[in-house]
A and B are shown apart, each in its own frame.
Chain A
Amino acid sequence: MSLEPQELNELKSKIGREPTSTELQIVAAEWSEHCSYKSSKRHLKMLPMKGPLVITEKGYDSGVLDVGDGYVVTAHIESHNHPSAVEPYGGAATGVGGVIRDILSAGTRPIAIFDGLRFGDIEKDQQARWLFKNAVTGIADYGNCLGIPTIGGEVEFDRCYENYALVDVAAVGFGKKENLIKNHAKKGDIVVLMGGSTGRDGIGGSQFASDSLESEDRSAVQIPDPFIEKLIIEAILEARNEKLIHAMKDLGGGGLSCAISETADALEIGIEMDVDKVHTRESDMHPDEIMVSESQERMLIVTSKTKFKKLQEICKKFRIGCSVIGIVKSDNQMHVKKGKKTFANLPTDVVANATLLDLPSKEPAYLKNIEKEKKLKPISDYSKIMMKLLASPNIASKIWVYGQYDHEVGIRTVVKPGRDASVLRLDNGKFLSVKIDGNPKQCYINPREGAIGCFEEACRNVVCTGAKPIGMLDHLQFGNPKDPEIFWTFLESLKGLTDFAKDYKIPCVGGKVSLYNETPDGPIKPTPLIGVIGLIDKTPQIPQIINKDDCLIIVGETKDELGGSEYFEYIHKFIGGKCPTVDFTESKKNMKSVLEIIPKKLLKSVHDCSKGGLAVAVSELSMNNQIGCKVDLNKVPAKKLDADRILFSESHSRYLLTFDKKNLSKVEKILKKNKTSYEIIGKFGGEKIQFSKGTKSIIDLRVDKAQKTWLNSLKDLVLHG
Chain B
Amino acid sequence: MKVGVVVFPGSNCDRDMYHVLTDVFNLDAQYYWHEKSLPKNIDAIILPGGFSYGDRLRAGVIAAHSPIIKDVQKMAKKGIPVLGVCNGFQILVESGLLPGVLLKNESLNFMCEWTNLIVENNKTPFTNQFKLREKIPIPIANGEGRYYVDDETLKELKKKNQIVFRYDEVVNGSSNRIAGVCNEDGNVVGMMPHPERAVESEINPIDNKPSSLIFESLLSKMGVSN
Contacts and interface: CB of A to CB of B under 8 A. Distances in A.
Interface of A: 137, 140-141, 144-147, 225-227, 230-231, 317-319, 402-414, 416, 425, 542
Interface string B175-206: 00000000000000000001011001011010
B159 interface: no
Given A227-B56, A230-B51, A408-B197, A147 B12 contact: yes
B132 interface: no
Contact of A147 (B19, B51, B109, B196): B51
Contacts of A318: 9
A412 B203 contact: yes
Contacts of B49: 409
A140 B203 contact: no
Contact of B9 (A319, A406, A414): A319
Contacts of A146: 12
Interface of B: 9-10, 12-13, 16, 19-20, 33, 49-51, 53-56, 109-113, 139, 141, 143, 194, 196-197, 200, 202-203, 205
B141 A144 contact: yes
B201 to A, nearest CB: 10
A408 B141 CA distance: 8
B54 A411 contact: no
A414 B201 CA distance: 9
B197 A145 contact: no
Contact of B110 (A140, A319, A425): A140
B112 A227 contact: no
Contacts of B139: 408
Nearest to B55: A145
Contacts of A227: 9-10, 51, 53-54, 56
Contacts of B9: 227, 230-231, 318-319
Contacts of B55: 145
Contacts of B141: 144, 406, 408-409
A404 B107 CA distance: 10
Contacts of B200: 411
Contacts of B56: 227
Contacts of A319: 9
Contacts of B197: 408-409, 411
Q: Which of A146, A407, A409 has the most CB of B within 10 A?
A: A409
A411 B112 contact: no
B73 to A, nearest CB: 24
Contact of A144 (B19, B51, B205): B51
A402 B112 CA distance: 8
24 contacts: A140-B109, A144-B110, A145-B10, A146-B12, A147-B12, A227-B9, A227-B10, A230-B9, A231-B9, A406-B110, A406-B141, A408-B112, A409-B13, A409-B141, A410-B16, A411-B20, A411-B196, A411-B197, A411-B203, A413-B203, A414-B202, A416-B205, A425-B202, A425-B203
A402 B113 CA distance: 9
A542 B203 CA distance: 10
Contacts of A402: 112
Given A144-B143, A227-B56, A403-B111, 9 more contacts: A145-B55, A230-B9, A230-B51, A404-B109, A406-B110, A409-B16, A409-B141, A411-B200, A413-B203
A411 B55 CA distance: 22
Nearest to A399: B113
A146 B50 CA distance: 8
Contact of A231 (B10, B19, B202, B205): B10
Nearest to A145: B51
B72 to A, nearest CB: 20
Contacts of A413: 203
B57 to A, nearest CB: 12
A230 B139 CA distance: 23
Nearest to B33: A317
A317 B9 CA distance: 9
A382 B163 CA distance: 52
A404 B111 contact: yes
Contacts of A317: 33
A409 B111 contact: no
Nearest to B199: A411
A144 B111 CA distance: 10
A144 to B, nearest CB: 6
Given A317-B33, A409-B141, A403 B202 contact: no
A402 B109 CA distance: 11
B12 A411 contact: no
A167 to B, nearest CB: 18
A147 B50 contact: yes
A411 B10 CA distance: 17
B205 A404 contact: no
Nearest to B7: A234
A410 B33 CA distance: 19
Nearest to A109: B15
The 8 closest A-B pairs by CB, nearest first: A147-B12, A227-B54, A145-B51, A406-B141, A411-B16, A404-B110, A408-B197, A406-B112
A442 to B, nearest CB: 32
Nearest to B15: A410
B112 A405 contact: yes
